[in-house]
Amino acid sequence: MSAAPNKKPSFALGLILILLLLAAVVFGGMWVVQAAFTPRMSDAKAAAESASAPAEEPTAQTEPTVQEPEPQEQPVQEAPAESSVTLMALGDDLIHNCVYWSAQTPEGGYDFTSFFDDIRPIVRQYDLACINQETILVKDREQIESYPVFGSPIEVADALADAGFNVVTFASNHCYDKKETGITDTLSYFHETYPEITTLGIHDTEADAAAIPIVEKNGIRIAMLNFTYGFNNSMPEKRWMVDTLSTRETVCGRIEQAKQEADFVIVFPHWGTEDTFSPDNSQLTWAQEMADAGADLIIGGHTHTLQPVELLTAADGRDVPVYYSLGNFLSHQKEKMNLLGGMASVTIFKDADGAHVSEYDLKPTINVILRNPNTGWYTYRPMLLDSYSSELAGQNRFSECTVDAMWALYEDITG
C-alpha cells in the first residue's frame, strides 16, 4: 500500500512567497518616498543660481531705468591770449647813520618798517614792486657804518619785505663796501628768510651769476638784469660776485641771452653823474645799446637826483621806455634836489605778437624828514608827492621844501 503525500512543504513555500512580496512592497514604497523628497542635482543647481541672483522687485513697484548720459570730455584749457603785469620801481634806499640811529629799538635792534608806512599801500597794488638797495646789509653790529663805507643793519631787509617789495636791486658803487661779507650776509638772509624776493646784481655762487634771473607773473616770463658802473672802494677778486657795466660785448650778450629765455627784458643800470638832472653821454650810449640788444624797459639809478623818462626806438623798431634815474627814495641827504625822487609805474602787456610796455608813467616822490621832539632823532616819511600836504610841509625839517617848490622842481626836471 502506497504512502499519502506530505502537505507541509507547500504551505512553507507559500508563506515564503508571501513574505517576499511584502518585503518588495515595503522597500519599493520607501524608495518612492525618498525619491519624492530628495531634490535632483539639476534642481539643486537651479535653486543655487536662483538664490545667488538679486531678488527682483515686483513688477508693479519697479521704477523705469534712467539711462545716465555718457561723461563728456572736458576741453583743454588754453592759456589766455592776452595778459598783463603791473610793475613799480623806486629809487635809492640809502641808509645813512641818522637813518639807522633813528630806527634803533630799546632792545638794541633796528626797526625800519614805519619809514615805509606811506608807500606800503601803493607798493602792494602792483604785481612786481622793485626798489634799489643802495647800501649793502651786514649781520655783525660792529660792521654797521655810514658814508663813505656803508654797512646797513640786516633789519632793512625785514622792512622791505613788510612793505611788499618782491624785487631788490643791489648792484651799486657801495655794494662791495664790506667786501665778500656784505654780499654773503645780504644774500643768505634774503634766501633763508624771504626766498620769494628776487635779488639782483650780486651773487654768492658762480652758478647764480651765470643764470638769467626770470620771474613769471600772469603767464609772462620777465627777465631782469642789474649792472653797476663801478665801485667806490675796492674791486671784488671774484668778479662774478657783482654784475658790472664792464664791456658792451658782455652786457649786451647777457641781454641777448635774456631775450631768448624770456618774453620781456628789464635792465636796471646803476650809472650817470651824481647830482645832475639830465643823462650824460655814457647813459645815452648805454641806453641805446641796451635797447638794440633786446631790452624792453630800462630803469636807472645812482645820481641821487631825479632824471627824466624818455622813449627810445630800438634797432628792430620797438619802443623802449628809459627812466634815466629815479633819484633817492629814503636817505638823509639834505638838499632839495636829493629829497625829490620818482616812482616808475609800468604795465607790461602780452598778446599774440609778444610782450611790450602798454603804459608807463613817472610819479614824483618826496622824502619827508620830521624831527622827533621826544628823542631828538628823526621820523622818515617818503611818499608820493601827490600825498604831500601844506601841513606836512610846515613840519618838514627843511622849510624850503614847500609843496609848490617841490612840484616846480619836478616840472623843471621832466619838462
Query: Which of these ranges, 39-53, 96-110, 157-171, 176-190, has the smallest mean pLDDT?
Result: 39-53
Superfamily of domain 83-414: Metallo-dependent phosphatases (3.60.21.10)
Query: Which of these ranges, 78-87, 233-242, 369-378, has the smallest mean pLDDT?
Result: 78-87
Give the model's pLDDT for residue 375. 87
Instruction: Tell whether the model's pLDDT for residue 4 goes beyond 70.
Output: no
Q: Residue 254 in 3-state DSSP?
A: helix
Closest CA to 377 of 92, 94, 100: 100
Give the model's pLDDT for residue 374. 86
Instruction: Tell whether the model's pLDDT for residue 12 goes beyond 70.
Output: no
Give the model's pLDDT for residue 102. 97
Q: Give the range with max mean pLDDT: 41-50, 69-78, 318-327.
A: 318-327
Instruction: Tell whether the model's pLDDT for residue 166 goes beyond 80.
Output: yes
Give the model's pLDDT for residue 21. 54
Give the model's pLDDT for residue 2. 40
Task: Give the mean pLDDT of 212-238.
Answer: 96
Tell me the pLDDT band of 267, cut-offs 50, 70 and 90: very high
> Which is it for strands 220-228 and 264-270: parallel, antiparallel or unpaired?
parallel
Give the model's pLDDT for residue 18. 56
Residues in the chain: 415
Query: Which of these ranges, 63-72, 191-200, 338-347, 348-357, has the smallest mean pLDDT?
Result: 63-72
Q: pLDDT for 236-265, tens place per residue?
A: 999 999 999 999 999 999 999 999 999 999
Give the model's pLDDT for residue 290. 98
Instruction: Tell whether the model's pLDDT for residue 10 goes beyond 90.
Output: no
Percent of the chain with pLDDT over 70: 81
Mean pLDDT across the chain, nearest whole number? 88
Query: Which of these ranges, 30-44, 98-112, 200-214, has the smallest mean pLDDT?
Result: 30-44
Residue 119 near residue 164 (C-beta atoms within 8 A): no
**In the chain, where are the structural domains located?**
83-414
Question: Identity (one letter) of the amino acid at 162?
Answer: D
Q: Determine the Cα–Cα distance for residues 391 and 403; give it in Å rounded to an integer.
A: 10
- No. of H helices and E strands in the chain? 12, 16
Task: Give the mean pLDDT of 301-319.
Answer: 98
